[in-house]
Structures are given as structure tokens and as C-alpha cells.
């Protein structure tokens, strides 16, 4: 068995708290916001973005980005319970209620099928998305924290394709990029690394090599775990 010099998981996963009663069985409480993706994240220019309601092959209603942002919007506080077993409580979102969208058409549907870029689909009973139960969110807690003057910094790098006008990083997350974007080791940052196992191993190993404290590097991985 190979020895690792960094933590194999988030500390606190098994800690109990007064919030544990809000967690479904088998879930653990997460303070961060892990992002898992089945593939490259689509980057649709806002000039080409649209939201449509279809009934069969008929388009009942369509909004451009500007039209969609002009609809009545709401701020929502909700808990997230991910199928990968983490839960984050009291997250804040802003968006348009599905009730607002469906109120603009006549329909008798009992189910809804949602489609998005990247080929992802999901189907739900209409009762599960009506009555203040579902929203199309366009502003999340990360944006709120960034605007709130907190000690939070977000950097993006797109390794495969970039949308027109992209001025951010265009390379993989290697030691040189980490040296540029992560707070200095002497600031003792708490670092969370999430992703496929090979990525997590590489990023965490680079952080240790750059002088970051192994006990302050928390990892969450998915996919094959590699050698035992």
C-alpha cells in the first residue's frame, strides 16, 4: 500500500452536529460546494442562449437571455442533497420560478422533461416542479459570496475549448498554475480538491510539493480509486 502525504478525505465528514437531523440517511454535511461533471462544461455565448418550452415538437414559448432575465425573479434558500452523498444546507440561489414560466402557456401535462447543453436530461412529475418547488437559477451562492466582500477568490481555466472573447486561463491545473492562483503557503489556506482520482492525486501532490500543509489539503474524488 502506498503512503500518501495528504488527507484522503474531508475532515468532519463523520462529525455529528445539531444539523445532523436535517441530513438524509447516508449523507454527510459539506461546507464547501463540490462540483462534479460528467464531461466538459458547455460554454454557450449569451447571445446564442435561449430557454424554450416544447409540447411534443411544437415550441410553445421561447426566451432569449435578456428576455429571460427580464422575467420576475426570486431569491431562494434551499438544501442540496447530492447523489454522491454530500449535503449542503441553506444554499442561496436567484432565478425564475417554473410556476412563472408555465403560467405563460396553457398546458395539461402531467410530466416534464428538462433538457440542457451537454445532452443531460431529467424527467419529473409536474407536481414536483409546481407550487414553488422548482426554479431555473442563474445566480448562485458563489456569486453572492464573491460580491459580499468575503475572503473568496475564484479563478477559471478552460482546458479544451473556450468561448469567444475568453481571456482567462487556457491550460491544465499544474504546479505552475497552482503557484499563480492559490494563496501562499504561509497564509495557511484550507484547500479543497475535487474531481476524478488522477486529477485529485496530481493536484494534491503538487500542492504538497509547493509547501502547502498536507493536513490542510482536503480531497474528494470520484471514479476509479487507483492502486490499493
What is the separation, in whole angstroms, between the first and last Cα of the chain?
A: 6
User: β-strand 86-97 against 28-29: which pairing, if any?
Assistant: parallel
Closest CA to 143 of 192, 91, 195, 178: 91
Q: Of 1-10, 29-38, 201-210, give the lowest mean pLDDT range.
A: 1-10
Q: Count other C-beta atoms under 10 Å from residue 218's C-beta.
A: 20
Residue 176 CA to its chain's centroid (Å): 25
Residue 145 to residues 2, 104, 140: CA-CA distances in angstroms?
Answer: 39, 33, 9
> Residue 198: its pLDDT value, please?
86
* Residues facing residue 220 across a β-bridge: 194
User: β-strand 191-196 against 86-97: which pairing, if any?
Assistant: unpaired
pLDDT band, very low/low/confident/very high, at 144 (cuts 50, 70, 90): low
User: β-strand 111-115 against 121-125: which pairing, if any?
Assistant: antiparallel
Q: pTM for the full model?
A: 0.57
**Domain segments of the chain: what residues?**
32-36+45-148
Q: Of 100-104, 139-143, 191-195, give the lowest mean pLDDT range.
A: 139-143
How large is the average pLDDT for residues 168-193? Answer: 87
Q: Is 226's pLDDT higher than 60?
A: no
Closest CA to 218 of 27, 4, 24: 4
> Residue 224: its pLDDT value, please?
58
- Looking up cell 454522491 gives 84
How large is the average pLDDT for residues 158-176? Answer: 84
Give the length of the chain: 228
Q: What is the pLDDT of residues 81-137, one digit of tens each?
A: 888 788 889 888 889 999 999 999 998 899 999 998 777 788 999 999 999 999 998
Q: What is the pLDDT of residues 42-83, one digit of tens each?
A: 677 888 889 999 988 888 999 999 999 999 999 888 898 888
| CB-CB contact of 86 with 30 (8 Å) | yes
Averaged pLDDT of the chain: 80
Closest CA to 220 of 209, 203, 207: 203
pLDDT band, very low/low/confident/very high, at 11 (cuts 50, 70, 90): very low
Question: What is the biggest distance separating any 2 CA atoms in the chain, rounded to whole angstroms?
Answer: 62
Which CATH code for domain 32-36+45-148? Answer: 3.90.420.10
> Residue 197: its pLDDT value, please?
83
* Residues facing residue 64 across a β-bridge: 50
Amino acid at each position: 500500500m502506498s503512503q500518501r502525504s495528504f488527507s484522503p478525505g474531508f475532515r468532519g465528514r463523520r462529525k455529528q452536529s445539531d444539523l445532523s437531523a436535517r441530513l438524509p440517511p447516508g449523507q454527510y454535511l459539506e461546507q464547501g460546494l463540490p462540483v462534479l461533471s460528467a464531461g466538459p462544461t458547455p460554454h454557450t455565448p449569451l447571445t446564442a442562449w435561449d430557454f424554450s418550452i416544447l409540447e411534443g415538437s411544437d415550441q410553445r414559448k421561447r426566451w432569449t437571455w435578456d428576455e429571460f432575465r427580464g422575467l420576475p425573479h426570486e431569491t431562494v434558500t434551499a438544501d442540496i442533497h447530492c447523489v454522491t452523498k454530500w449535503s449542503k444546507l441553506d444554499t442561496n440561489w436567484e432565478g425564475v420560478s417554473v410556476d412563472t414560466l408555465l403560467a405563460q402557456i396553457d398546458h395539461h401535462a402531467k410530466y416534464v422533461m428538462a433538457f440542457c447543453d451537454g445532452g443531460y436530461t431529467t424527467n419529473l412529475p409536474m407536481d414536483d416542479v409546481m407550487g414553488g418547488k422548482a426554479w431555473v437559477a442563474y445566480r448562485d451562492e458563489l456569486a453572492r459570496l464573491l460580491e459580499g466582500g468575503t475572503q473568496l477568490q475564484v479563478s477559471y481555466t478552460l482546458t479544451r475549448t473556450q468561448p469567444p472573447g475568453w481571456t482567462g486561463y487556457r491550460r491544465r491545473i499544474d504546479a505552475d498554475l497552482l503557484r499563480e492562483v492559490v494563496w501562499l503557503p504561509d497564509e495557511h489556506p484550507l484547500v479543497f480538491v475535487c474531481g476524478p482520482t488522477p486529477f485529485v492525486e496530481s493536484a494534491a501532490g503538487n500542492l504538497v510539493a509547493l509547501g502547502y500543509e498536507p493536513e490542510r489539503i482536503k480531497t474528494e474524488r470520484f471514479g476509479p480509486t487507483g492502486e490499493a
